[in-house]
Chain A
Amino acid sequence: MGVRLKKPWLALAPELVASLPGQLGVFQLANEHREVVYIGFAGARSLFGLKGELGHRLGKWPFFRVEVNMAYRTRYRELLMAHFSDHGCYPTENTAEETAGLGRLSLTALTKIAVKTKVGS
């Protein structure tokens, strides 16, 4: 599993949301430029899981993608931290309360390692 969520974006439309699983996991919402504007999760208190969480957000943003994941809380934090590492800020629609106390990831170090490995091999 990569750190970043790289699945293709899907249209946030009723028929697609209806076909989603009711499982636990994380999701991202994007604007018309396919830029991430919100990262959320469907936890054990979410009625109908991912289907329910995305169903509440119909019509707000044009695109979404999901990842079914039982470790939704750590994965959610990881995605927020990865977004900060890449962009220097959190997604615009995530509140200060949601991002309070998050740690930091040095994903650029990963890139360096990958380059070194390639050169070395």
Chain B
Amino acid sequence: MQLELTQEQDMLVRMVRRFVREEIVPLELDLDPDTDELAEEDSIRLKAIVQSMGLFGLGIPEEYGGPDIDMVTQTLISMEISQHRAGLYAPCYGVFGGAGLAQLFESSDAQKESYLYPTLRGEKRGFFGLTEPSGGSDPARAIQTRAVRDGDDWVINGSKIFISGADRADFGLVFARTSPDKGRGGVTCFIVDTDTPGFYVRRIVHTLRSAHYATELQFEDMRVPHANVLGGVNKGFAIANDRLSRQRIPYSAGCIGVAIKAHEMAVEYSKIRETFGAPLSSRQSIQWMLVDNEIDIQQARWATLEAADLADKGLPFRKQAAMAKLVSTEGASRVVDRSMQIHGGYGVTKDFPFERWYREMRIRRIGEGPSEVQRHIIARDILGSSLR
């Protein structure tokens, strides 16, 4: 792996950084501190700027109209677009677009016409429905939602929880058990229209995130055509697993971006805030906090870029993605905590972004597989198949 940025990467990073600082951060001065959306006119204006930069639709393959950007460069950009108050869960308030449900790139031609292309055109929204009340870290065993074949349809019964965006979606990917005795080999992914009879959004699940909520879903005798099976019957676990590994890289990058911004603010504040006649930055206790911030950020940055580099090369990256997720979420949590501490009373007010980052960052150690699961993945890689 090359440790220095290429000239093109350096230029892109500088351009995106400038966009965030000049276009996004000033808007936040007037926005509600907990919001995750911009006024429509701002959103349209900023999307046009991003399109003119050639960066709209990060993660969308070039053949589907996305920019031709490798995973390492995407990761570097993700570290930049999260460097603002809402950046962890709403990087640049969505004006960079995105791939949405990447699994649809592997769908059939008919499914692409009905779901992928409308999603890429912004006409349809989708959700990813994997986690159930019985658990999310071990989908092979936790999935209890059942799908039973009935003629040309499948009849689905069950429930999902912690599902983002299902209440506003037109369709979703729903994972259900189709062969009860086959473990991970008995799970199928269905594309489900949200206006299908028997599809219910039961409630909003309120969490530490005060802008972006999750939902709980219920399926009651919901009939889905066989043509809406994605990737084949009993092939759903591979779809879910691939998504979980790949998603860990941008997930990590978002945490690193917030940590970089929090650290930068802490460094600046420590130089201007005086106590007992000297700036905070002259105190060793503060200096060591800043040093630890720097170390946490660098560790997370290299671990995440290494995982992205392996993914670019088509090499196995599951262990490295798990390491990146583990190191970045735990390290960034510490960075935000220290930076908040350096800001004292102001750090916990809604006048500053730390309190939002502090709450949202806590979720990152659980979402997309908790730290313990990442350690389990790494342990399995070290110890091999002997580990049960």
A-side residues, CB < 8 A to B, are 1, 3, 43-45, 70-75, 77-78, 81, 100-106, 109-110, 112-113
Q: Render B208-227 as a binary contact track against A, CB cut-off 8 A, 1 for contact.
A: 01111101001010000000
* Interface bits B32-50 vs A (CB < 8 Å: 1, else 0): 1111010010000000000
| Chain A binder among B128-136, B148-156, B198-206, B244-252 | B198-206
**Count of chain B residues near A, Cβ 8 A:** 26
Chain B residues within 8 Å of A104, by CB = 167-168, 201
In angstroms, Cα B204 to Cα A103, docked, is 10
Query: Can you name 27 A-B residue pairings with CB atoms under 8 Å?
Result: A1-B206, A3-B203, A3-B204, A43-B32, A44-B350, A45-B33, A71-B206, A71-B210, A73-B35, A73-B210, A74-B212, A77-B204, A78-B204, A78-B206, A78-B213, A103-B165, A103-B167, A103-B201, A103-B215, A104-B167, A105-B204, A106-B200, A106-B202, A106-B218, A109-B218, A109-B220, A110-B202
A interface SS class: loop
Residues of B within 8 A of A (CB): 32-35, 37, 40, 165-168, 200-204, 206-207, 209-213, 215, 218, 220, 350
Tell me the bound Cα distance from A103 to B40 in angstroms.
Answer: 17
The interface residues of chain A lying within 8 Å CB-to-CB of B34 are 43-44, 72-73
Q: Please, how many angstroms separate the alpha-carbon atoms of A12 and B204 in the complex?
A: 29
* Residues of B close to A100: CB separation below 8 A: 40
- What distance in Å separates the Cβ of A85 from its nearest Cβ neighbour in chain B? 9
Are B210 and A74 in touch, CB under 8 angstroms?
yes
**B32 and A74: CB pair below 8 A?**
no
B211 touches A105 (CB 8 A): no
Are B168 and A110 interface neighbours, CB within 8 A? no
Q: Complex formed: what's the CA distance from A112 to B218 in Å?
A: 11
Distance between Cα atoms of A63 and B159 in the complex (Å) = 38
| Closest chain B CB from A95 CB (angstroms) | 13
- Given A73-B35, A77-B213; A105-B167 close (CB under 8 Å): yes
Inter-subunit contact A44/B32 (CB<8 Å): yes
Q: How far is the CB of B215 from chain A (nearest CB, A)?
A: 8
Question: Which residue in B204, B210, B218, B350 is a CB contact (below 8 Å) of A113?
Answer: B218
Distance to closest chain B CB from A45 (angstroms): 6
Q: Given A73-B211, A77-B213 in contact, is the A103-B168 Cβ separation under 8 Å?
A: yes
Which A residues are in CB contact (< 8 Å) with B220?
A: 109, 112
Among A74, A78, A102, the residue within 8 A (CB) of B211 is A74
**A70 to B167 alpha-carbon distance, docked (Å):** 22
In the docked arrangement, what's the CA distance between A8 and B180, Å? 49
Complex-state Cα separation, A77 to B165, whole angstroms? 13
Contact of B201 among A72, A77, A106, A112 (CB under 8 A): A106
A70 vs B209: C-alpha distance in the bound complex, in angstroms?
10
Residue of A nearest to B351 (CB): A44
For A71, what are the chain B residues with a Cβ–Cβ distance below 8 Å? 206-207, 210
Would A110 and B203 be within 8 Å (CB), given that A103-B168, A104-B167 are in contact? Answer: yes
Shortest CB-to-CB span from B133 to chain A, Å, is: 13
Q: Which residues of A contact B167 (CB under 8 A)?
A: 81, 103-105
A72 interface neighbour in B165, B209, B210, Cβ under 8 Å: B210
Given A3-B204, A72-B34, A103-B201, 4 additional A-B pairs, CB 8 A: A3-B203, A71-B206, A105-B203, A113-B218
For A41, give the chain B residue with the smallest CB separation. B32
Q: B206 CB to closest chain A CB, in angstroms?
A: 5
Q: Which of the residues A44, A101, A105 comes within 8 Å of B33, measured between beta carbons?
A: A44
